[in-house]
């Protein structure tokens, strides 16, 4: 019997009825294709690194549709999915799925168990770091419970199925990679393991990430009163709002301040600088849940371009859409941000 990960969030975060879900996704795709933004209307040749959110479709569906509308599926056979762990903290390794299939209301998506088996044999190497976990593998299996509780990958799965179920080469196999605690050494090890795969056009990468989680319930109430044009000015003007404080009439509304924070992160990701990304996260503390998967992909692209002798200064991440779950106006409000984007390789 096939070993299937059930669609545990279907029926709550999105519809478990294939007809209803199909119509919903069709509406999202139609809106993405008629969007005024040029990049969201058609397939972008070479767009094989994607980034999109993982909230309920009522919040994230439009952004996910924008992401998957530009996806170049012409050669895809395998997808490495990188997402953050929301329920379990772990370090020194990243986790991969032990299931053979991921269920969606439309049908099942195959897991690339053969590639996962190869990744499981990836051993840490020195690279100038102290080896305190030399016997550990860089990649380990997550438990069934951890896999089923996690929504990072599941929220992308119906969009993957809809975009690939009728491809001549069939539905691509997925490799879900769950990331939690990650130091420089682990980042290097994961990048080294994935780099050979990036070189093949059949291999694609998806980053599952929301952007700023703002509000006291997230432990993040940073606020910048005005638009700024540098990370230094951003951090110099950044402060925390208390529950009783309101913004002044001449200052940015909180939701606009959140947008300034997120757009600065998106600009840095566009620059392609792994070190600038790390500095941004350190200095702002922005609660981008996929910040570590993004960091992995930024370093992965840097190493790929270096090895290929690519000195192109074009933007790395290109962004399509941005939205927030709620327009926060008071310190007691909360919101989560969502963005759609891609990288051409």
Chain segment 72-121, per-residue pLDDT in tens: 999 999 999 999 999 999 999 999 999 999 999 999 999 999 999 999 99
**Mean of pLDDT over the chain:** 92
Which residue would you say has higher pLDDT here, 222 or 312? 222
Q: What does the pLDDT read at residue 39?
A: 56
Residue 253, CA distances (Å) to 227, 256, 265 in order: 11, 5, 19
Closest CA to 47 of 323, 320, 311, 321: 320
Distance CA 345, CA 342 (A): 10
Write out pLDDT tens, residues 29-42. Answer: 999 988 655 555 68
Alpha carbons within 13 angstroms on the beta-carbon side of residue 294 total: 33
Q: What CA–CA distance (Å, rounded) separates 286 from 114? A: 36
pTM of the predicted protein model: 0.93
All domains of the chain in start order, with CATH: 4-213+289-344 (3.40.830.10)
């Amino acid at each position: 019997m096939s070993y299937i990960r059930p669609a545990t969030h279907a029926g709550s975060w999105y519809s478990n009825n294939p007809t209803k879900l199909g119509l919903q996704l069709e509406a999202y795709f139609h809106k993405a294709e008629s969007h005024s933004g040029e990049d969201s209307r058609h397939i972008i040749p070479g767009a094989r690194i994607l980034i999109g959110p993982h909230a309920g479709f009522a919040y994230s569906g439009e952004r996910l549709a924008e992401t998957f509308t530009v996806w170049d599926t012409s050669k895809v056979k395998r997808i490495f999915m990188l997402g953050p762990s929301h329920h379990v903290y772990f370090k020194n390794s990243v986790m991969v799925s032990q299931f053979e299939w991921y269920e969606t209301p439309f049908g099942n998506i195959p897991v690339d168990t053969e590639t996962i088996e190869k990744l499981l044999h990836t051993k840490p190497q020195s690279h100038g770091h102290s080896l305190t976990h030399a016997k550990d593998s860089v990649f380990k299996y997550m438990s069934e419970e951890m896999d089923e509780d996690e929504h990072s990958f599941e929220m992308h799965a119906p969009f993957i199925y809809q975009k690939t179920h009728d491809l001549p080469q069939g539905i691509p196999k997925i490799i879900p990679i769950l990331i939690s605690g990650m130091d420089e050494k682990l980042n290097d090890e994961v990048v080294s393991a994935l780099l050979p795969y990036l070189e093949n056009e059949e291999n694609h990468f998806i980053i599952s990430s929301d952007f700023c989680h703002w509000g006291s319930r997230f432990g993040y109430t940073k606020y910048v009163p005005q638009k700024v044009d540098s990370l230094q000015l951003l951090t110099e003007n950044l402060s925390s709002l208390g529950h009783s404080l309101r913004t002044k009439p001449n200052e940015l509304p909180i939701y606009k301040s959140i947008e300034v924070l997120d757009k600065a992160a998106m600009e840095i990701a566009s620059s392609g600088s792994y070190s600038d990304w790390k500095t941004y996260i350190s200095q702002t503390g922005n609660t981008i849940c996929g910040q570590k998967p993004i960091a992995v992909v930024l370093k992965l692209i840097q190493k790929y371009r270096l090895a290929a002798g690519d000195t192109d200064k074009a933007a790395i991440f290109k962004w399509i859409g941005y939205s927030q779950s709620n327009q926060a106006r008071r310190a007691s409000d909360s919101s989560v941000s969502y963005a759609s984007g891609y990288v051409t390789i």
